[in-house]
A and B are shown apart, each in its own frame.
Chain A
Amino acid sequence: DTAVSQTPKYLVTQMGNDKSIKCEQNLGHDTMYWYKQDSKKFLKIMFSYNNKELIINETVPNRFSPKSPDKAHLNLHINSLELGDSAVYFCASSQGQGVTKNIQYFGAGTRLSVL
């Protein structure tokens, strides 16, 4: 019974296309995140939502648009895909934002390849 699940696991697409990655957590957590891990393995936060509200929005091109229909879901839509978007995208969730609540649980990742 997967706690944080994201789909698809692999995504291969052409430059210029629009694609979405979905994420769901069944842990009852209030906060969800999207991270990007590039080829050099740096893991960088992109967005964070708490109870459907955006709380962290790092410097990310506006081609990336997160959407949180409810606190158990945080989807990532990417417009006009570029070669540099190729990476592994991880979704994560945490109980909340406080010191004792921000332990993060990650999904298995979506490996995006833009050709």
Chain B
Amino acid sequence: RKEVEQDPGPFNVPEGATVAFNCTYSNSASQSFFWYRQDCRKEPKLLMSVYSSGNEDGRFTAQLNRASQYISLLIRDSKLSDSATYLCVVILSSASKIIFGSGTRLSIRP
């Protein structure tokens, strides 16, 4: 089993739709969790951190389920500009290991 797994997609949804994807991790010692966004031929950029209690930033909601060892990202009212690859990042305690998921491609159509 991979340490961090994501559905590669692509998810192809219409503008205005709600889309959600998950990221599972295998190491229970994982301590920090993030979602990054990577546009084609660009560097990854932080979208949001994922907190234990769940957190929201505008149209984006991130949640952490430690019992089932996954994090999720929900995007409401999707925009064309949301088209990108979304990478989950899991960092083990003491930052001894940093693992990026392989990314989920999202394509928003007009």
Contacts and interface: CB of A to CB of B under 8 A. Distances in A.
Interface of A: 31, 33, 35, 40-45, 48, 55-56, 90, 97-99, 102-109
B96 interface: yes
Nearest to A94: B95
Given A43-B44, A99-B32, A107-B43, 19 more contacts: A31-B95, A35-B100, A40-B102, A41-B85, A42-B100, A42-B102, A43-B100, A56-B98, A90-B44, A97-B94, A97-B95, A98-B95, A102-B32, A102-B95, A103-B34, A103-B49, A104-B44, A104-B89, A109-B43
B74 interface: no
A35 B100 CA distance: 10
Interface of B, secondary structure class, is strand
Interface of B: 31-32, 34, 42-46, 49, 85, 87, 89, 91, 94-100, 102-103
Contacts of A43: 44, 87, 100, 103
B46 A103 contact: yes
A108 B39 CA distance: 11
